């Protein structure tokens, strides 16, 4: 059986002793904030950003066009989702890099700007610049996340795609920025159309429609990857990966050739997608409850997932799509005024 080998023992002991003296300092692995505190801070951030946005609005200005309002609310929903999700996930990653603070901070700023955009037409250039910053942050985030994935043994492996920084997540921040830019553009286009400059509404609708479709396809990949990681253990997990690309195709079709039937199909599928976002939030909450300890152990299980903050982004994208459809309704083929 296990027989000690004296020679080896002596050698190893010497090495150990040497190493013992130069023992590496332990890394601070545990977050220095309690999860309860983090969630409170995140909640306060959401409320503060919303209040800031509304404060800007309370100082007057015109009410933006309906398409702009849709897109702005979409941007706000996406930004709120990113704020909650990134605050939690980056906290889970101990904010190991300073850059990790960027996501929740920029998301909060975007949320405030988006809410301001939804209620007033003032300061559009500043807003557009801020949303541009959001897009840039999202794109940088994609780079950081990709680097994080590639830095681990296995590189671009399934394991790293499943468990390292989620590749698609910063894309949601970029989408929030795009929806914001879209909102500003829609408002401007609406004003020009009213001044009789034709074509601007059509172009803005076209842009918003394409961004929505791109977002839906991107989200399909992200949801598909993560639901695949969950082995589609619940058949309902197939719903978004069937619904999102269909909606994406429908909005693409309506954008490319905005005839009434296509617009109507796109609207219906967007409504279904928005509904799925709400249902999904509930289902993710149910998923959290299935972890050991359920909601009684919420400080662990909210992090364990599935992320409750993720599905609302579906509704955010749907709102962006509604904005596109509103513009296409009024400025595309066979214009109508859409449902009031």
Q: Which two tokens stand for residue 148?
A: 């994080």
Beta-carbon contacts of 201 under 8 Å, excluding residues fewer than 6 positions away, are 186, 189, 190, 192, 193, 327, 330, 331
CB of 142 to other proteins, least distance (A): 21
CB of 95 to other proteins, least distance (A): 18
- Sole residue written with tokens 């286009």: 189
CB of 307 to other proteins, least distance (A): 14
Residue 4 or 60 having the CB closest to other proteins:
4
Residue 189 or 308 having the CB closest to other proteins:
308
CB of 28 to other proteins, least distance (A): 10
CB of 278 to other proteins, least distance (A): 22
Q: Are 189 and 204 in contact (CB under 8 A)?
A: yes
CB of 252 to other proteins, least distance (A): 30
Residue 3 or 195 having the CB closest to other proteins:
3
Q: Which two tokens stand for residue 46?
A: 């959401």
CB of 286 to other proteins, least distance (A): 10
Which residues contribute to the site for other proteins (CB under 8 A)?
1-4, 8-9, 12-13, 15-17, 19-20, 23-24, 26-27, 29, 152-154, 158-159, 162-163, 228-231, 233, 287, 290-292, 300, 304
Question: What is the distance between the alpha carbons of residues 277 and 235, in angstroms, rounded to a whole number?
Answer: 16
Question: What is the distance between the alpha carbons of residues 221 and 312, in angstroms, rounded to a whole number?
Answer: 17
- Residue 123 CB-density burial (10 A; 0-12 exposed, 13-18 middle, 19+ buried): middle
Residue 202 or 284 having the CB closest to other proteins:
284
Q: Are 104 and 170 in contact (CB under 8 A)?
A: no
């Amino acid at each position: 059986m296990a027989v000690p080998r004296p020679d080896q023992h002596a050698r190893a002991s010497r090495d150990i002793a040497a190493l013992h003296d130069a023992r590496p300092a332990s890394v601070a692995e545990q977050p220095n904030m309690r999860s309860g505190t983090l969630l409170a801070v995140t909640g306060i951030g959401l409320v503060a950003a919303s209040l800031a946005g509304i404060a800007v609005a309370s100082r007057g200005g015109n009410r933006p066009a309906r398409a702009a309002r849709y897109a702005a609310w979409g941007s706000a929903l996406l930004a709120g989702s990113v704020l909650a999700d990134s605050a939690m996930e980056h906290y889970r990653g101990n904010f190991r890099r300073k850059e990790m603070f960027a996501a929740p901070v920029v998301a909060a700023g975007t949320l405030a700007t988006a809410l301001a955009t939804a209620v007033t037409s003032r300061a559009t250039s500043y807003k557009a610049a801020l949303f541009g910053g959001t897009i840039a942050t999202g794109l940088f985030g994609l780079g950081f996340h990709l680097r994080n994935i590639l830095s681990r043994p296995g590189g671009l492996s399934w394991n790293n795609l499943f468990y390292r920084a989620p590749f698609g997540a910063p894309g949601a921040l970029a989408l929030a920025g795009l929806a914001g830019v879209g909102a500003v553009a829609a408002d401007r286009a609406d004003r020009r159309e009213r001044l009789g400059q034709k074509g601007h509404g059509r172009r803005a609708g076209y842009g918003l429609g394409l961004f929505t479709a791109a977002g839906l396809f991107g989200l399909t990949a992200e949801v598909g990857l993560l639901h695949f990681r969950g082995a589609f253990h619940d058949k309902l997990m197939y719903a978004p990966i069937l619904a999102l690309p269909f909606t994406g195709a429908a909005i693409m079709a309506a954008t490319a050739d905005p005839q009434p039937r296509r617009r109507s199909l796109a609207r219906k599928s967007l409504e279904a997608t928005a509904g799925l976002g709400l249902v999904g939030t509930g289902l993710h909450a149910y998923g959290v409850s299935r972890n050991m300890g359920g909601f009684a152990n919420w400080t662990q299980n909210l992090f364990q997932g599935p992320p409750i903050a993720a599905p609302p982004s579906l509704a955010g994208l749907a709102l962006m799509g509604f904005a596109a459809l509103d513009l296409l309704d009024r400025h595309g083929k066979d214009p109508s005024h859409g449902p009031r």
